[in-house]
Amino acid sequence: MKRIRLALFLSGSVTQHSLGSWRHPHSASQHNRSPWDRVPFWLDIARSAERGGYDLIFFSDSNGMNLGHADRHDDAVRYAAQAPRLDPLQILPAMAAVTTRIGLAATQSVLAVPPFVGARTWATLDHLSGGRAGWNVVAGYLKSEGQNLGYDDLLAHDERYAYAGEYIEVCNRLWQSWDEDAIVSDTAGSMFADPTKVREINFAGKWFRSRGPAQVHRSPQGRPLIIQAGQSPAGRAFGAQNADVIFAICRSAAQMKSFRDDMRKRAIEAGRDPDRIKILFGMQPIVGETDEIARQKADFHQTLVPLEAGIFYLSGHLGVDLSSEDPDLPLRSIDVPGVQGILDAYADTSGDGEALTVGEAARRHAGSVGFPQVVGSPQRVARWMLDMMEEAGGDGFMISPIHLPGSADEFSNLVIPILEREAGRSALDLTGPTLRERMMEE
């Protein structure tokens, strides 16, 4: 079996995916034992994740709060629905300073800054980390994000991906505007960099104009590892054309296989080698020394998550007011404008062949935001992962902790050693000098 890649999902908040994580007694943020809004908290996580064998740290992010169905910030603040939230681009350089191997990725919307600024930011992080930067490119979906950034309204869904495609094109040209050997450091000739190897790009498109050249020289990876998570047809097309890694939410082996097969087909149609696009599936492991201990942990976790928080959170992500819907109504019967991947994860199947209702989806969303919960002993969790890779294909998993740092460390200590033994997936043995090369190694 090929190597399984593992990414640790984080948000710069007291909650990650579970809206109950900040209430968990083992959360480091409880009682201010290790303040989540201070550097040591995040450095401890980075060191532990690298030591434990994760390949990648991945921060989600947004420039707006999830306002839910009420179009107010009250519930986001009340339930700590990833609010307040720190800027991960301020956290990653600090993590880079205390690690040497693990990939460092974060989400940045193409709405947030002009392409020239975005290209400079990511090239800088790639240099500072020694070629370990990863950028999760998003096109924006929250109305509040557009409002916060000064837009009257967001573009239509598919047009947002066209906008993102042009944005990436500008960035690619800027990243390539310095040749790899442009810096010559010729002290005798008083030439630091050869100007014939640095070019203007003079880009003029539908949305963007940029003269160039880039303000940062060619970085170790040439460009950061590009990550993408859109699961709509437009999102998949964007990923097939641009992404190195695609992150998907699927609740069954059948969904995973269907998604992987579709992405490989799209990659070929886009003229790319499908093996150069790695697919990670989301999962939320709850691990105990025995199945019974794990089940007790999962049951306790669910008591920390208010159902009302799930209704609010799911409404915001799907862009529709679910508070007035019959909780027994199948979710697939509702037309939504929001995050298609989340809808698909809930609406297709519950994993046992039955469609999820609005109420069931809301409960799950508050606890895992669509990630399948895998509960059991280390052996059971590892076996589920190995079986999914065998049945569905794919390249690894995005791990969503139910509290920090404890559940991420439990997975490192209890499950990763089994995966290393049975699948040969040790991230510590990789030899590639950059994140992209290590992620592509088999």
Tens of pLDDT, residues 45-62: 999 999 999 999 999 998
- The per-residue pLDDT for 56 is 97
Q: Which residue has the higher pLDDT, 311 or 273?
A: 273
- The per-residue pLDDT for 166 is 98
Average pLDDT over residues 243-267: 94
What percent of the chain is modeled with pLDDT above 70? 92
- The per-residue pLDDT for 330 is 82
Global pTM?
0.91
- The per-residue pLDDT for 350 is 46
- Cα separation, 75 vs 309, in Å, equals 7
Average pLDDT over residues 73-99: 91
Check pLDDT > 80 for residue 277. Answer: yes
Comparing CA positions, the residue from 137, 370, 394, 371 lying closest to residue 280 is: 394
Is residue 300 very low, low, confident or very high in pLDDT (cuts 50, 70, 90)? very high
φ, ψ of residue 285 in degrees (nearest 5): -80, 140
Structure tokens, 132? 């370990």
- The per-residue pLDDT for 336 is 64
- Cα separation, 11 vs 264, in Å, equals 29
- The per-residue pLDDT for 377 is 98
Beta-strand relationship, 133-138 and 183-186: unpaired
Is residue 387 very low, low, confident or very high in pLDDT (cuts 50, 70, 90)? very high
pLDDT (tens digit, 9 = 90+) per residue, 130-140?
999 999 999 88
Maximum Cα interatomic distance, the chain, rounded to a whole number of Å: 78
Beta-strand relationship, 203-204 and 209-210: antiparallel
Is residue 343 very low, low, confident or very high in pLDDT (cuts 50, 70, 90)? low
Most confident listed range (201-215, 340-354, 399-413): 201-215
Give how far Cα 244 sits from Cα of 178, 196, 280, Å: 22, 30, 11
Average pLDDT over residues 291-307: 91
Is residue 342 very low, low, confident or very high in pLDDT (cuts 50, 70, 90)? low
Is residue 353 very low, low, confident or very high in pLDDT (cuts 50, 70, 90)? very low
- The per-residue pLDDT for 88 is 97
- The per-residue pLDDT for 34 is 67
Check pLDDT > 60 for residue 346. Answer: yes
